[in-house]
Each structure stands twice: as structure tokens, then as C-alpha cells.
């Protein structure tokens, strides 16, 4: 079985079994705590606001639907067909479009770019969950999707998040209920070193226009009742000129 096949199988299993309720998935936080915060730093860097916005790794579409209120055309894309089916079911009015996409597969990426043209792209927490062998090709795919006119906002857990997640996973009583299925399906968060991300971007022909740090809010709580918030780093990128 190939790396991508194993990765797809893990996500299909996860989304097939995940609860449907809003906030039941570890990272399915309220949009105002996630995409809303990110748009505040992303929008000032958009060169063409009228380009389609692609929500890459959209999952069940919670953030996609939020983004559809702010952009003319929004497309949610995910590796998992089960996730895309959930996203469509949760959007009966069709506020956004949804596509199954493996961004590490060049042919699929080129086909979607041919359909949409250049896009602005939003990606939250995908690279650190991706298999190591697919990370560069995924970032290469992002470069193809944004083309010459688009901009991408990428936010990933920082390497400082890993020990926090390990502490949660190794609690005497076991991982918290929303993190447990992530681990059970072999989806390992927090596996990308901070120093690796600029290398992937440069190799893909992307330049960093802006960068910073923001908290990444989850839907999980500690035994003391406080929300689990993880450190993350964000970048806005464009094709090198």
C-alpha cells in the first residue's frame, strides 16, 4: 500500500466514524476562533479578492461555510470522500462547492487548477498531519493551485505543540475523548519541525509575504475545564516573482 493510500485510508476511517455534532471533532472549533482570526491577517495580503477561495483540507466544512459568507466563490477540498460527503450534507443550500482532492497528486491538482484557475488558498493544520514523503509534493500542489495571482494562508502547529499533545495523549486515564480517535486512526499531529516549513515553501517556488504566531484553538478541554489551545505559526505566501 502506498503512502497516500495509507493516509487516505486513515482519514476515511476517521471521518466515517466521527460524530456529526458541531464541535465533536478535536479541531472543529467555532469559526470565529479559527478562520475568523486567520482572515484578519490574510485578507490584507490578497492581490485579487475576486479569485475563488480554496479551503484545502476542509474536513466537514465548518470553516468553509464561514468563508463562503465572505468570498464570492468558495471551494472546500479534502482527501477524504467521507469528509466531503459530510460537508455537502451540512451545506444543503450549496453556499460552497466541495471537491475530493489529493493535493500530493500532481494530476488531480492540475485538473482542479484547470477548473478553477488561480485561487486564494486557506489551509489549517494539514501539513503536520501529512505523511513525510508527501509534504513537499503537497506544497508543490499549493503553488500550482494559487498560480501567479493567488495568495495562500497556511497555519500549522508549531513544534512546541508536540509536547503538549504528548502530555494529553499520555495521561494516566488515557487521551481525552476528542483526541483519542485521532490517535486510534494513526493520524499523528505535530510532526513537522518549524525549520522545515520554509524549506518546503522555497523548494515549491513560494515566497513568504508575512508570518507570525497565533493560538490554534481546539474543541477539547483539560480535566480542569480549560480549553486546549495549541501554539501555531502562520505564513502568507505567493509565487516567487
Element (H, E) at 182: helix 180-184
Determine contact, residues 159/193, Cβ cutoff 8 Å: yes
**Domain 3-239: CATH architecture, name and number where available:** 3-Layer(aba) Sandwich (3.40)
* Domain spans, the chain: 3-239
Phi-psi region of 69 (alpha: psi -120 to 50; beta: other; left: phi over 0): alpha
The pTM of the full predicted model, rounded to 2 decimals, is 0.95
Please give the Cα distance from 9 to 37 (Å, whole number). 31
Per-residue pLDDT in tens (0 to 9) along the chain, 241 residues: 344 667 788 889 999 998 888 889 999 999 999 999 999 999 999 999 999 999 999 999 999 999 999 999 999 999 999 999 999 999 999 999 999 999 999 999 999 999 999 999 999 989 988 888 889 999 999 999 999 999 999 999 999 998 888 888 888 888 888 988 888 888 866 678 899 999 999 999 999 999 999 999 999 998 888 899 999 999 999 999 8
The pLDDT of residue 5: 63
Determine contact, residues 36/69, Cβ cutoff 8 Å: no
Sheet holding 97-100, edge to edge: 97-100, 74-78, 53-56, 120-124, 152-157, 227-239, 206-221
Helices 106-116 and 135-146: crossing angle in degrees, nearest 10, is: 20
Element (H, E) at 6: helix 3-17
Amino acid at each position: 500500500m502506498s503512502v497516500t493510500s495509507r493516509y487516505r485510508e486513515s482519514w476515511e476511517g476517521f471521518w466515517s466514524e466521527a460524530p456529526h455534532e458541531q464541535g465533536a471533532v478535536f479541531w472543529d472549533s467555532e469559526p470565529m476562533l479559527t478562520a475568523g482570526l486567520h482572515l484578519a491577517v490574510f485578507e490584507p495580503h490578497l492581490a485579487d479578492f475576486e479569485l475563488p477561495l480554496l479551503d484545502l483540507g476542509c474536513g466537514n466544512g465548518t470553516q468553509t461555510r464561514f468563508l463562503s459568507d465572505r468570498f464570492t466563490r468558495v471551494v472546500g477540498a479534502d482527501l477524504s470522500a467521507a469528509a466531503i460527503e459530510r460537508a455537502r450534507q451540512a451545506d444543503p443550500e450549496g453556499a460552497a462547492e466541495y471537491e475530493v482532492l489529493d493535493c500530493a497528486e500532481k494530476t488531480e491538482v492540475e485538473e482542479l487548477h484547470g477548473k478553477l484557475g488561480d485561487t486564494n488558498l486557506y489551509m489549517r493544520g494539514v501539513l503536520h498531519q501529512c505523511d513525510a514523503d508527501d509534504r513537499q509534493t503537497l506544497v508543490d500542489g499549493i503553488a500550482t493551485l494559487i498560480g501567479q495571482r493567488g495568495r495562500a494562508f497556511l497555519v500549522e502547529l508549531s513544534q512546541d505543540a508536540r509536547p503538549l499533545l504528548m502530555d494529553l495523549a499520555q495521561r494516566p486515564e488515557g487521551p481525552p475523548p476528542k483526541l483519542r480517535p485521532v490517535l486510534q486512526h494513526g493520524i499523528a499531529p505535530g510532526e513537522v519541525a518549524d525549520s522545515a516549513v520554509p524549506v518546503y515553501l522555497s523548494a515549491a517556488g513560494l515566497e513568504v509575504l508575512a508570518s507570525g504566531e497565533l493560538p490554534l484553538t481546539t474543541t477539547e478541554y483539560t480535566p480542569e475545564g480549560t480549553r486546549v489551545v495549541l501554539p501555531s505559526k502562520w505564513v502568507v505566501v505567493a509565487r516567487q516573482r
